Structure 1
């Protein structure tokens, strides 16, 4: 009898056993993809006032209550998803992160939501004020509605955050309020009142249900900064905390003070004797060896000529600022050599080989001997 496959110790074929890990890995990958795709829209998030955020700063509680009251809540993230959904008079559109809007995305939002029953901006006071072209002012405490809006009848709101909108409206006084209305557009500066942590206090829950439940359907729009055009993107300065600039100024002042403190001189410079005395001849020989090893005949020739000029200046007692022409004339007069011959020695061309360099040194030495003998 012939075997068609090798048997493993447990009695199964090795071919079948080798396929099991691959099949399990593929099954796990498929499950992960399905869970990711199906659960993407319903996944929890930690963003403030997000309808899918169950934390203290989220707004999942209000969204769940609205759904329980028969309002169809649809969360759209990004402007592409918003524009793909039609908005009618049955819809209320709410934005709880208005700070993520730029002029272009805000204009598209308002054009697309023009037919809605209401467009609500709720969130930080300064962000809501910027969307409605309003100013902000201090506001705090528990405020009654104190306005003629039927939607707020009999409600009182505990304002949080300390800022309100400078316009006629509800829940405030002296021209600074928490809620304003311009046609079908609403602005709620006390957005934290709609959060899971505070929605059950004072009239926050009733106000949230009335404000966001004005239509049969609620479109909860979550803007995405990636939708903003490049020239309208948020600057780095706007993303930095307000304390960054003062901190940098303080750090710069401290650095300057440290430089002035540690950078001052501690008296005149002091000379110290060298631990080893090196003879001048040794330095000259060592420098010559370096020039020879590097093949730098130009520097070697310059050193020879410069030393000869210095000694001739001293021998002929010429002033320190005497020109080369004056030196050539004095040497020519002392030795009787033609001026052009002396000039060729004191301003030679760069040697091209070692023989020329050695010959230049010999001729310079002969010239010095003639000046000394004369």
Structure 2
């Protein structure tokens, strides 16, 4: 960037008149083509639309999951939702049965020792074989809704899953009193099969459908009397009033004065049996992590050594004023920031041209364009295209634009001060002694000819 001339030119160029236009004043900048916020949004609208679509999809999924997933714990005695069992708990309470909700195995064992019927619904399969065995050895009467594989292996080794019933299962057809009083069950029952060994040990089935049964009863190897109900429909609020579901549920849980309503939670899981992080991690992860650490350390050492040793330099340090511009130019070149470079070139050119033409700093760009066109004899359209409109599409066009700007300044300087035309900025980019050129040659008295500053 060069300074204004030291002396007024011999001939003052008349200030051209131009129509007002909403252009940025020359003292501020030419019209910047660097993308602003609006331009960045316009260029990135595709990714913005994709992000908004993903966000909307996530919100819809959350809403749907919240609408589909029933609130509360399934078959909880205090859950009034369709999947809860509050209706059954209140009916039992009205009949004089004390319903005690327990959330831990210790509490369930304590209630079982007191002779209570233990109602178990392990939805997440939290209890392991050891805990199930302890519960079966302590409880005298155990009712299990929708058992899992572990429960079947501990309580009834010969009982297996047999899918779902096709429609409503048949009549009870067994010696279980609660099942006989219920008569029939509703649709949606899960079936269990009994092998010969389990049948010889006294395990019987009720409500047959094909080869399976909706309810299985017997005595576990640990001595507990158990009743396995394949589905949760006889106990759930939304289906307990269908067919004989209520009679079966009340008959199974109302046989004694107290019911321990046990829904195992995460606290009942055995932390010792949980897999460790090393067991969950694939074998190739550890070597790769070690290799990444070594590579990171090696890269840090390599990058750190390339700068060389620290150099101590006394202050103040004199730095060439041109080094700032050169450093910024290198940054622009490294980042391929052509639009920023064009903006800076045009800003400097417009400011220098306005100073050469003795125009006020508040002059608009159109005024500068008109003045330059009047002085050089060029068309206003070509001058405006050079100072405002043209946008280079590559490095070659950027270099050509910079050369054309330098030639324009040289032409204006030659038209205003013909005698000093040789001192004007060289269109090739060489540094000369002309006024306003920011040169390295000796300047006016009292200035640093080297262009250094502390």
TM-score (ref. length: structure 2)? 0.39
Q: When you count helix as a share of all residues, which structure comes out higher? A: 1
Q: Which structure ranks higher in relative contact order (CA pairs < 8 Å, sequence separation ≥ 6)?
A: 2
TM-score (ref. length: structure 1)? 0.46
